[in-house]
Amino acid sequence: MWDDSFPSFLIGLREGLEAGLVVSVLVATLVRAGARSRLPQVWAGVLAAIALSMSFGAVLTFTAASLSTAAQEAFGGALSIVAVAFVTAMVFWMRRSARSLAGDIKEKVTEALTMGAGVLVLTSFLAVGREGLETALFLWTTARAAKESAGPMTGAGAGLVLAALLCWGLYRRVLRINLTRFFTVTGAVLIVIAAGVLGYGLRDLQEGAVLPGGTLYAFDLSGSVDAGSWYSTLLQGVLNLTPTMTWLQAVGYAGYLAVVMTLFVRGVRDAPGTGETVATTPPRPDSTPAAQPTAPAPARPRLLLPVAVVAVPALLAGLVVALAHPKPATGEIVAVSGTDCGQGFTAPEPGRQDFRMHNTGNQTSEVYLIDPSSNAVYGEIEGLAPGTTRDLVATVAGGTYAWRCVPADGKAVTSKAVRVGGAAGAHSVVPVSERDLAAPLKAYRAYVNQGLATLVTRTRKLSDDIRAGHLDTARADWLTAHHTYASLGAAYGTFEDFDQKIDGRPDGLPGGVHDKDFTGFLRIEYGLWHGESAAGLRGVAQQLADDTAGLRKAFPHQEFDPFDLPLRAHEILENTLQFELTGDTDQGSGSGLATTDADLAGTRELLAVLRPLLTPRAPRLLPTVDADIARLRKLLDSAHHGTGWTPVDRLGPAAKDRIDGATGQLLEDLSPVPDLLEIRKSA
């Protein structure tokens, strides 16, 4: 998380220090002038500015959430560009102002002390508010780029805490900081970070169809760069440099960096002096106008002004959020039944909608929000029971919409279609039928049948080795035979009861590895790598050969749910991450990575037969997955030495993290496959 935290830490430190200098001088001056009673005015301004900044962040978040996917990309991209403009302006302003900053602050404080409470509140409010708004905008854009908020928020919090400590030290006169040097160094780093934010913003605008060139790539290193490595994480998290960038991103990044950094460095080189070292040494009471007697202020409630300046920004933000995140246009309940589907449905407004679906019939129903012209599904509820109400949340854009209700026992009913104006862009999934999956299923069954024939031959060879007492040969043949079995994708009961017999683990057996019901590959593995005699393994090896022959004979007649295909595309490697890459299944051979390689081969075969269905539904998914597979295979190959593999428990921490990270990334990218190819009821 630290890589996502660093840019926000830096902005929090700079902005916090800039605002904190003003506040610390204000507080120090009031204390030295004997005007402690006016400190609540300072804190009221500070609290009001914090409330305004947090409200601004809420407005950005809720405004984006109410937009369609394409509009969210455009909105985020535009705000990223604005954030870059603010950061750039801030960097150059601080470079120019650092030398005289302390003197300017003291002059403004002195002026504020000679005037009423409102001016003192306004001074602290403006000092903190400007930096707070800039920080909120930058945090929002960096959190969007990182696709999570914990890292950026943690970094910004740490930066603000450090800035507060520095300002406290200045207030206590224990620190002296060369502001010119500080703002020069951090300014240069922020320019590099801002270049990355600019590139990310341009990409968002391309994905939102605001700018062209979204498919024109300057480079694509996804097949050769390990996305889970520390250096890749660092570059993506801190600098927003990704393995794949479009020409517009690359030119924008390089152009901004070249122009802005050149101007910044030239300004630093040409500026006279070495910079001012600052510590707060507020004027003594006898030299400060604030120390002079002043006319007593008219009596007023002490808490009225602080409460007002804090409450007003929060109320205004709440009003903006309420307007920016309107209630669904179809606030009425939409009825669902076997005879009348979608009663009460009217054309919704574009944006994120929350439909309340109430089953008025007497049967449990599936409910889909569809495009009636293509049957594409925008949202669904499975198993809506009679008399119950559930929410269906979907993003609506320009297009045609209707409800389809499919009772458990009955025909599908489709509502009247409504038309929503505006640009298209709502995400939908074109459903598949059993007929669509028939050809992939036939191809995959042929692959498994061929693999089972090879498996039978290799398990017989393994049994012959053990019967003849050739245990060294048996170890090599065991690895080959087990690799063959694993490549067939035996996950979550694919081969029914045969899987437990052939590749079952000793987990849960009363006798563990010595239990009589512990059979198959792992039982033989335990014996071969723990010094068991050939005589003790002959019966187990013969049983394995018989079980694989039985599986080959039974498989053509086994029932195979077509939906198992897309499910297996994710679950095979899910098993791998849970068992093989933790060493849970290793019984002494150290072949966890060999099995992982076989599982990867089985997953590739599944994706190959599903490719014709996946490509039109998610054009970007398979190229991403192919790059993930190539990355993982490259990592596995580095642990493959001749006929042997590095055991999982002997991998170095960095190598283990890379393999786990690549497998996890592949699993994440495969996760949409079951949903994309789910068989949805239509009749």
Element (H, E) at 336: strand 334-336
Question: Helix 471-486 vs helix 521-528: angle between axes, to the nearest 10 degrees?
Answer: 150
Please identify which residue in the block is written with the tokens 């801030």.
90
> What are 391's strand-pairing partners?
356
For residue 416, give the DSSP letter.
P
Q: Quick one: pLDDT band at residue 631, thresholds 50, 70, 90?
A: very high
Q: Which alpha helices (H) appear in 422-533, and where do they start and end?
A: 434-467, 471-486, 497-503, 521-528
Instruction: Answer with the residue of higher pLDDT: 55 or 656.
Output: 656
Question: What pLDDT does residue 484 have?
Answer: 95
Dihedrals phi, psi of 542, to nearest 5 degrees:
-65, -35
- CA-CA distance, 355 to 425, in Å (whole number)? 19
Q: Can you say how many angstroms the Cα of residue 672 is from the centroid of all Cα atoms in its chain?
A: 14
pLDDT at 316 over 80: no
Burial class (CB in 10 A: 0-12, 13-18, 19+), 320: middle
Question: What pLDDT does residue 120 have?
Answer: 57
pLDDT at 60 over 90: no
pLDDT digit string, tens, across residues 148-186: 566 667 777 787 788 778 777 766 655 555 656 656 765
Please identify which residue in the block is written with the tokens 């992939």.
440
- CA-CA distance, 317 to 311, in Å (whole number)? 10
- CA-CA distance, 27 to 610, in Å (whole number)? 68
Question: What pLDDT does residue 21 have?
Answer: 60
- CA-CA distance, 258 to 265, in Å (whole number)? 11
pLDDT at 62 over 70: no
Average pLDDT over residues 219-248: 61
Question: What pLDDT does residue 564 have?
Answer: 82
Question: What pLDDT does residue 647 have?
Answer: 94
For residue 285, give the DSSP letter.
G
Q: Quick one: pLDDT band at residue 325, thresholds 50, 70, 90?
A: very low
Average pLDDT over residues 641-663: 89
The answer to whether 571 and 548 have CB atoms below 8 angstroms apart is no
pLDDT digit string, tens, across residues 421-460: 877 767 777 888 888 889 998 999 899 999 999 999 999 9
pLDDT at 588 over 90: yes
Question: What pLDDT does residue 4 have?
Answer: 53
pLDDT digit string, tens, across residues 14-26: 566 656 665 665 6
pLDDT digit string, tens, across residues 471-490: 999 999 999 999 999 999 86
Quickly count: other Cβ atoms within 10 Å of residue 621's Cβ.
Answer: 17
Q: What is the DSSP string of 516-553?
A: TT--SHHHHHHHHTTT--HHHHHHHHHHHHHHHHHHHH
Average pLDDT over residues 521-532: 95
Instruction: Answer with the residue of higher pLDDT: 597 or 567.
Output: 597
Average pLDDT over residues 547-555: 93
> What are 217's strand-pairing partners?
246
pLDDT digit string, tens, across residues 608-624: 999 999 998 888 889 99
DSSP helix/strand/coil, 615: helix
Q: Which two tokens stand for residue 385?
A: 């029971």
pLDDT at 467 over 90: yes
pLDDT digit string, tens, across residues 27-55: 665 665 566 777 777 777 778 777 776 77
- CA-CA distance, 84 to 97, in Å (whole number)? 20
> What are 414's strand-pairing partners?
404
Question: What pLDDT does residue 451 have?
Answer: 94
- CA-CA distance, 18 to 274, in Å (whole number)? 19
For residue 237, what are the CA distances in angstroms to 8, 231, 234, 374? 11, 10, 5, 40
- CA-CA distance, 646 to 628, in Å (whole number)? 21
Q: Label residues 625-654 b or e (16+ Cβ within 10 Å = b).
A: bbbbbebbbebbeebeeeeebbbbeebeee
The answer to whether 488 and 503 have CB atoms below 8 angstroms apart is no
pTM of the model: 0.52
Question: What pLDDT does residue 269 have?
Answer: 61
